[in-house]
């Protein structure tokens, strides 16, 4: 009987990567990060904040600095359905367009109407269904950019 290779825990690898000096996440100013680092930081911040408190929290907290780029970041890794959910969330919270001023984003997020909150709650639920496998897609993106993030283990390899 052939034994299977141990399954790679890509989420654990991404968590370790996010806490390492191989990512700019949480360390470097978002606007100064390279394109690849912005993709990682945007998706990582989005998942952390929306899973913790929904899109309202994402727009209120420091993660809001990634809001103008998050749809592009998601599309760049192939997460088209999640990108669409985020686009709808931005349009719902900011019907006149996403402000460029981070303080204005926070102010608007702190004072959303009940109607907007209800719509964002529905988009939160859609996000929680994970229509795109963000772990797999982000891992593949990071693995394709070893010059930026270093070499990662591959399926069949031990951690």
pLDDT digits (tens, 9 = 90+) for 23-72: 999 889 999 999 999 999 999 999 999 999 999 999 999 999 999 999 99
Q: Which helix (H) or strand (E) holds 59?
A: helix 35-60
pLDDT digits (tens, 9 = 90+) for 83-99: 999 999 999 999 999 99
pLDDT digits (tens, 9 = 90+) for 95-139: 999 999 999 999 999 999 999 999 999 999 999 999 999 999 999
pLDDT computed for residue 155 by the predictor? 63
**Reported pTM:** 0.90
pLDDT computed for residue 157 by the predictor? 47
Residue whose entry in the numeric block shows the structure tokens 């599309």:
75
Alpha-carbon distances, residue 119 vs 25, 77, 81, 91, 146 (angstroms)? 29, 26, 17, 10, 39
pLDDT computed for residue 148 by the predictor? 94
User: Domain residue spans in the chain?
Assistant: 34-144
């Amino acid at each position: 009987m052939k034994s299977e290779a141990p399954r790679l825990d890509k989420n654990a690898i991404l968590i370790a990567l996010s806490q390492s000096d191989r990512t700019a996440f949480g360390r470097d100013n978002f606007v100064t990060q390279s394109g690849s680092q912005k993709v990682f930081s945007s998706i990582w911040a989005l998942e952390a904040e929306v899973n913790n408190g929904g899109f309202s929290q994402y727009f209120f907290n420091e993660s809001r600095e990634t809001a103008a780029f998050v749809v592009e970041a998601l599309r760049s890794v192939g997460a088209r359905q999640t990108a669409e959910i985020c686009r709808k969330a931005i349009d719902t919270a900011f019907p006149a367009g996403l402000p460029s001023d981070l303080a204005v984003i926070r102010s608007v997020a702190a004072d959303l109407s009940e109607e907007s909150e209800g719509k964002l709650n529905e988009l939160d639920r859609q996000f929680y269904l994970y229509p795109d496998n963000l772990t797999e897609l982000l891992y593949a993106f990071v693995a394709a950019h070893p010059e930026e993030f270093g070499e990662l283990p591959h399926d069949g390899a031990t951690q």
